[in-house]
């Protein structure tokens, strides 16, 4: 479900925004702070639910809202009512408002209203369940691309979700190589900037990697990379969320407008952090930047990657690792152990680590994180190929 929330008092809705941002039924949450005197900026493209925070009357006249609602019959309009006025309610319902949330509302009331909206959208056949994740490293080399590829692989092949990887590391994107990338014709910039972009074009431009798994690669020229406009990217993301069950975006750790746009549209933002002091410092800084950019911190979580295993800890490879894990625990979505052999084997084979080392603690941890991020319980791994069994036997 894609929500656009228009408000003059975004700060006062922090609790609502945090709850919606972390609600797994909400795939997109766009918060628009209203500053203009009238509703010229209202855009309902790719929106399922429009939430107006007390704006009917002084910002948008009921008649104008009715016109808008008639033009967009699939969009469900919700009103956050800050005053208890039966006159306002009658006007609002007459203008097309289908759901009213009295403010202030309790978490249970918000939850109930979201459920009501979903139910109504389902009845119209206009419900979109696509989930979107933006994944970025606290510091280059922490393993963001590795995590993107591994999670996407598990979602696609084990959980049967149609999954799209978008490589938005426009300068150094290397997602193409992780799963035995072949030569391809299109890249994410070309596709997003194309004026004729529609569902069938997008489907045909995505590079198939495995069953259910697709990739929009990064471009290989700086000129091409510089062409991407945030508005075009937004359009691409909205379209992708309708066509795929899961969209996972690999963004560079240096935050720019494109990365911010991805985060705004994602259900969850995942910082990949290695348990080192430098990573921890960068992670804290990055979190502050995200907060300053208006990304609800509630939807940002960290994934600790390359955690030294018990063996390595005994040898004191990194005495700070456990302390850092403990420090991050409140925001942690999971921990992935360091396994250089499995990672090297995967790169060499152009395969996912969960295929080449299915029984490793790293693969098992990836399975756990993949299922908890989607809120689904684990599915029995599909039958392994003889080839992968052979490779894993070699490792023992």
Ligand X SMILES: Nc1ncnc2c1ncn2[C@@H]1O[C@H](COP(=O)(O)OP(=O)(O)O)[C@@H](O)[C@H]1O
Q: What is the CA angle 132-137-142, rounded to 5?
A: 130
Q: Judged by CB under 6 A, does residue 118 bind ligand X?
A: no
Binding segment (CB under 6 A) for ligand X, from list 137-145, 287-295, 326-334, 384-392: 137-145
Torsion from C-alpha of 141, 193, 181, 151, nearest 10 degrees: 50
**Distance in angstroms (rounded) separating the CA atoms of residues 216 and 205:** 8
Binding segment (CB under 6 A) for ligand X, from list 4-12, 46-54, 233-241, 333-341: 333-341
Torsion from C-alpha of 147, 351, 186, 245, nearest 10 degrees: -60
Cβ-based nearer residue to ligand X, 62 or 259: 259
Q: Judged by CB under 6 A, does residue 305 bind ligand X?
A: yes
Binding segment (CB under 6 A) for ligand X, from list 138-146, 206-214, 236-244, 377-385: 138-146
Coil vs helix vs strand at 112: helix
Among 137, 236, 246, 248, binds ligand X (CB under 6 A): 137
Q: Judged by CB under 6 A, does residue 187 bind ligand X?
A: no
Among 300, 343, 357, 370, binds ligand X (CB under 6 A): 343
Q: Judged by CB under 6 A, does residue 134 bind ligand X?
A: no
**Distance in angstroms (rounded) separating the CA atoms of residues 335 and 329:** 10
Among 42, 79, 336, 374, binds ligand X (CB under 6 A): 336
Q: Which two tokens stand for residue 318?
A: 């990194």
Binding segment (CB under 6 A) for ligand X, from list 45-53, 106-114, 139-147, 325-333: 139-147
Q: Which does 181 bind (CB under 5 to 8 A by kind): Mg ion, ligand X, none?
A: none
Binding segment (CB under 6 A) for ligand X, from list 158-166, 230-238, 332-340, 380-388: 332-340
Among 44, 64, 110, 141, binds ligand X (CB under 6 A): 141
Q: Judged by CB under 6 A, does residue 360 bind ligand X?
A: no
Exposure class string for 236-270: b at 16+ Cβ within 10 A, else e: bbbbbbebbbbbbbbbbbebeebbbbbbbbbbbbb
Kind of pairing between the strands at 268-273 and 300-307: parallel
Size of the site for Mg ion (CB under 5 A): 2
Q: Judged by CB under 6 A, does residue 275 bind ligand X?
A: no
**Distance in angstroms (rounded) separating the CA atoms of residues 249 and 134:** 5
Binding segment (CB under 6 A) for ligand X, from list 45-53, 69-77, 142-150, 282-290: 142-150
Q: Which two tokens stand for residue 187?
A: 């890249």
Among 33, 73, 104, 140, binds ligand X (CB under 6 A): 140
Q: Judged by CB under 5 A, does residue 134 bind Mg ion?
A: no
CA proximity to 213, closest of 145, 151, 271, 129: 151
Cβ 383 to Mg ion shortest distance, Å: 31
Q: Judged by CB under 6 A, does residue 142 bind ligand X?
A: yes
Q: Judged by CB under 5 A, does residue 145 bind Mg ion?
A: yes
Residues 321 and 275 sit within 8 Å (Cβ to Cβ): yes
Element (H, E) at 308: none
Backbone angles phi, psi at 126, to 5 degrees: -110, 25
Coil vs helix vs strand at 28: strand
Q: Which residues bind ligand X (CB under 6 A)?
A: 137, 140-146, 272, 305-306, 336, 338-340, 343, 347, 362
Q: Which residues bind Mg ion (CB under 5 A)?
A: 144-145
């Amino acid at each position: 479900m894609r929500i656009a929330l228009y408000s003059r008092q975004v700060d006062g809705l922090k609790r609502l925004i945090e709850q919606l941002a972390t609600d797994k039924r909400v795939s997109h949450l766009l918060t628009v702070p209203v500053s203009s005197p009238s509703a010229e900026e209202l855009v309902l493209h790719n929106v399922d639910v429009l939430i107006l925070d007390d704006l009917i009357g002084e910002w948008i006249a009921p008649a104008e809202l009715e016109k808008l609602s008639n033009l967009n019959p699939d969009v469900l309009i919700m009103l956050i009512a800050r005053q208890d006025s039966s006159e306002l309610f009658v006007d609002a319902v007459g203008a097309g408002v289908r759901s009213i949330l009295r403010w202030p509302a309790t978490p249970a009331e918000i939850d109930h209203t979201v459920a009501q909206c979903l139910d109504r959208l389902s009845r119209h056949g206009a419900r979109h369940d696509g989930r979107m994740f933006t994944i970025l490293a606290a510091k280059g080399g922490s393993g963001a691309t590795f995590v993107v590829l591994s999670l996407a692989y598990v979602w696609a092949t084990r959980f049967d979700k149609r999954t799209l990887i978008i490589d938005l590391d426009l300068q150094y994107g290397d997602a193409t190589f992780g799963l035995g990338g072949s030569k391809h014709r299109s890249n994410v910039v070309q596709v997003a900037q194309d004026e004729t972009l529609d569902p069938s074009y997008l489907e045909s431009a995505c590079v198939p990697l495995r069953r259910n798994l697709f990739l929009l690669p990064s471009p290989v020229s700086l000129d091409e990379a510089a062409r991407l406009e945030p508005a075009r990217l937004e359009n691409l993301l909205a379209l992708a969320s309708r066509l795929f069950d899961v969209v996972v975006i690999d963004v560079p750790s240096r935050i720019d407008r494109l990365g911010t746009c991805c985060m705004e549209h994602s259900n969850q933002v995942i910082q990949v952090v290695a348990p080192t002091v430098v990573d921890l410092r960068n992670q804290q800084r990055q979190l502050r930047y995200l907060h300053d950019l208006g990304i609800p911190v509630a939807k940002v979580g960290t994934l600790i990657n390359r955690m030294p295993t018990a063996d390595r800890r005994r040898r004191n490879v990194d005495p700070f690792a456990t302390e850092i894990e403990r420090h991050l625990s409140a925001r942690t979505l999971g921990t992935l152990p360091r396994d250089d052999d499995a990672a090297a084997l995967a790169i060499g084979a152009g395969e996912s680590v969960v295929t080449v080392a299915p029984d490793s603690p790293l693969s098992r941890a990836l399975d756990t994180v993949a299922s908890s991020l989607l809120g689904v319980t684990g599915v029995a791994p599909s039958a392994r190929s003889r080839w992968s069994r052979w490779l894993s036997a070699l490792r023992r």
